[in-house]
Amino acid sequence: MHKLVNFYPYEYNDVRAALEKDIINIKIYSSNKLVGIGRVVGDGRIVFFLKDIIVHPEFQNKGVGTLLVMNLLNQIKKIGCDHAYIGLMSTSGTESFYERFGFIKRPNGTFGSGMVMFVEK
């Protein structure tokens, strides 16, 4: 799925090890075809991050992404404490999609910019 949307193609063993530590992992199929994936990482109580929300290009703008995010958020609400932090790093141009669920763009008057760093070996 990563290759279909031009995400970095991690090695299989790295992906497998990462998925084993997910808090939540959802896959959506249509006629036995994988059309959407989404996962949540974090501490399982206070901090949650939506990660790898990917919809097959043929199924984009058909409600699959909405179904993924709604299911992930509902599961987080069941296990997260009051005022748990839910974050994500959206790809360019998808911010308005996530705003529909209540996510807030950064930077703003309260929060600074999100930041990332990549390990290079």
Q: Which two tokens stand for residue 106?
A: 């950064």
**Is there a domain that residue 104 lies in?**
no
Cβ atoms of 105 and 95 closer than 8 Å: yes
Adjacent-strand bridge partners of 55: 36
pLDDT tens for each residue of 30-89: 999 999 999 999 999 999 999 999 999 999 999 999 999 999 999 999 999 999 999 999
**Is there a domain that residue 106 lies in?**
no
Q: 74 lies in which domain range?
A: 3-99
This prediction has a pTM of: 0.90
**Is there a domain that residue 44 lies in?**
yes
pLDDT tens for each residue of 82-116: 999 999 999 889 999 999 999 999 999 999 998 88
Eight-class DSSP state of 114: -
- Our count of domains for the chain comes to 1
**Is there a domain that residue 42 lies in?**
yes
Residue 17 pLDDT exceeds 90: yes
**Is there a domain that residue 108 lies in?**
no
Q: Which helix (H) or strand (E) holds 54?
A: strand 47-55
Residue 60's CATH number: 3.40.630.30
Residue 3 pLDDT exceeds 90: no
